Amino acid sequence: STTQEEEDVLPPKDFVAALPVREGWSEPLVQYKNYWFRPRLLEQILLVQHAFVPRADDIILATQPKCGTTWLKALAFTIANRSRYGFSDHPLRTRHPQHVVPFIEIPGAGPNHTDIHTLPPPRLLATHMPMSLLPPGTRSVGCRVVYLCRDPKDALVSRLHFENKAFQGTNLSMDNAFSMFCEGFSPYGPFWDHCLGYWRESIARPDNILFLKYEEIKSDPVPVVRKLAKFLGIPLTEEEESSGVAQEVVKLCSFETLTSLQVNQVGGVRHGDKFFLSNSVFYRKGEVGDWANHMSHVMGEELDRIVQQKLEGSGLVF
Ligand code: A3P
């Protein structure tokens, strides 16, 4: 096992190479401080621990992948920039939501990607890092964080499809993915610990952490837009309320609108020789409860039971 000392002196690449590793997903994952990561991404996470300089007015969109990151990026970007762009010639009509809000720990890979260093304040940033690994400065300077989570059954089904689509040569079965996920072994997992970290922080510091669920946005998006705008410090004005701005935001960021745009249908970014991230891979069904079409009821109940047990007493329920 590795020590703090080794972490401090070894180059991230060598440190990561010495961590516990386990195979099963599209590539082996390494375990670091309770969580499982793709090695290359963990290297980036370790690098930004020191390199990232948070600003007090930064807004961080935090998720586990497949919980609705793309949707949250679109919504937050549209809300934050609504005084700058009209809905008809909006940047999201020609740019992918993933590309307009950069990740703290994932370098932009295409010419259309917003560069974190040239973003005007207040910066809108994204991350998949667990709460416990957010660079410590983000907390001390008081960055606001929006966390979005999702029913783990749907997140797992979404993950399985993503792995098989994005990583050439991967052909994971539902059964396999299910048992790994239930053990807490999944990218950025254990799934429940990632959620719990942000959940507890949102209770401790409600002014700084807004906790959202995919299902909540899906069933009634307009109040979420209001809540987001307020949290970002730019609440909807009476005039905006009466002219239906929240509804416009919801419509522009809807699964239907986004998937109808060419930018979300074609093109993509190559990472290495195995991994091609097509723009369309971030959209599949965009529904609540699709898990039932991919796993048995018994499996669903089993995962529910595991998650309930892990979340017990926290007040967080799915
Ligand atoms: P499904 O695979 O269940 O369809 P992420 O952006 O975190 O990678 O999450 C991807 C999931 O969010 C996919 O779920 C995708 O279809 C869904 N999604 C993407 N854009 C969406 C939108 N505008 N509205 C609702 N769901 C969306």
Residue nearest to atom 8 of ligand 1 (CA): 66
Confidence of residue 276 (pLDDT cuts 50, 70, 90): confident
Interhelix angle for 245-252 vs 221-231, to 10°? 110
* Amino acid in position 271: H
Q: For residue 258, which atom of ligand 1 is closest to its CA?
A: 23
Give the pLDDT confidence of 226-248 residue by residue, as tens digits: 999 999 999 999 999 999 999 99
Picking from 244, 249, 253, 247, the residue whose alpha carbon sits closest to that of residue 286 is 253
Residue 109: per-residue pLDDT: 75
CA 13 from chain center: how many Å? 24
How far is the centre of ligand 1, averaged over its atoms, from the C-alpha of 65 (Å)? 9
Give the pLDDT confidence of 213-223 residue by residue, as tens digits: 999 999 999 99
Q: How far is CA 144 from CA 67, 112, 119, 147, in A?
A: 19, 26, 17, 10
How far is the centre of ligand 1, averaged over its atoms, from the C-alpha of 299 (Å)? 22
Residues lining ligand 1, judged by CB closer than 6 Å?
Answer: 63, 65-71, 154, 158, 161, 253-255, 258, 282-286, 290
Residue nearest to atom 26 of ligand 1 (CA): 286
Q: Which of 90, 96, 99, 128 is catalytic?
A: 128
**Least confident among 75-84, 106-115, 226-235, 269-278:** 269-278
Q: Which comes out higher in pLDDT, residue 262 or 112? A: 262
Residue nearest to atom 19 of ligand 1 (CA): 283
Q: Give, for 129, the enclosing helix (H) or strand (E).
A: none
How far is the centre of ligand 1, averaged over its atoms, from the C-alpha of 208 (Å)? 25
Q: Does residue 128 have an active-site annotation? A: yes
How far is the centre of ligand 1, averaged over its atoms, from the C-alpha of 255 (Å)? 8
Give the pLDDT confidence of 50-76 residue by residue, as tens digits: 899 999 999 999 999 999 999 999 999
Residue 1: per-residue pLDDT: 66
Output the average pLDDT for the chain.
95
How far is the centre of ligand 1, averaged over its atoms, from the C-alpha of 17 (Å)? 32
> Model-level pTM?
0.97
The two counts, helices (H) then strands (E), for the chain are: 15, 9
Q: Is the pLDDT of residue 160 over 90?
A: yes
Q: Is the pLDDT of residue 110 over 90?
A: no
Residue 112: per-residue pLDDT: 82
Phi, psi of 306, deg, nearest 5: -60, -50
Pocket test for ligand 1, best of 282, 288, 291, 293 (most atoms within 8 A of CB): 282
Residue 108: per-residue pLDDT: 80
